[in-house]
Amino acid sequence: MDLSSELADPNVAAQGLGTAPPDEAALIDALQSGRAEAFEELVRSNSARMLVVTRRILRSEEDAQDAVQDAFLQAFRSIGGFERGARISTWLHRIAVNAALMRLRSRKSRPEDPIDPLLPDFLPDGHRVDPGPAWDLDPVDEIDRRRRLALVREEIDRLPDSYRTVLILRDIEGLSTAETAAALEVGADAVKMRLHRARQALRSLLDPHLRASAA
């Protein structure tokens, strides 16, 4: 299942690097000049997209809103050093991700449940013990598509946080391995390992639902 194409709203996902359009260049000028109406426009134009990102990571509306506020405060303090040529939406997206991750770290108070019970069993030759039938991923209609997306989001939320966040950052938010490693303050190899195990665990969680729909 291609999570990035199914779950990442193209209107919400981070924008690629490139030359800022003229209206954005004017907005950056106004922001760096400290004009209040420019900051109001920045919040009005970007808060909804940033809230989607922080909700995915934090799974709490209150925490997500607080993280967006944290992100805008950080953006306002840092706007003077904003590098021309990047898209401001990309910059804000990364700040929102970091703000959400900081809140996630601060609220951890108990050990995570192990992911091993969610992983599939493998034979000595590397094949799955029970590969099962192929999934039918073609939705019947828009209602079926929305139901399946809701199911995927629900099962992602069952993953332990250290694996869930890697999956969200890499497969949904579209960060690179290096960007994910920097955001999570871990090595690139740890990101790759966690992502592989998170994908396997998610497939195991989805299998009973999607196998039944394919039967």
What 137-142 contacts at long range (C-beta under 8 Å, 24+ apart), as own/partner pairs, is: 137/1, 137/210
The one-digit pLDDT tens for each residue of the chain (215 residues) are 455 445 655 444 433 334 444 488 888 889 989 999 999 999 999 999 999 999 999 999 999 999 999 999 999 999 988 887 778 999 999 999 999 999 998 876 667 888 988 887 776 766 666 666 566 666 667 777 788 888 999 999 999 999 999 999 999 999 999 999 999 999 999 999 999 999 999 988 988 887 755 55
Q: Which residues contact 27 (CB under 8 A, 6 or more apart)?
A: 38, 41, 42, 88
Report all structural domains of the chain as residue ranges with CATH numbers, in order of start.
Answer: 3-107 (1.10.1740.10), 116-214 (1.10.10.10)
Cα within 13 Å of Cα(114), Cβ side: 3
Q: Is residue 95 packed enough to be buried (19+ CB in 10 Å), middle (13-18) or exposed (0-12)? A: buried
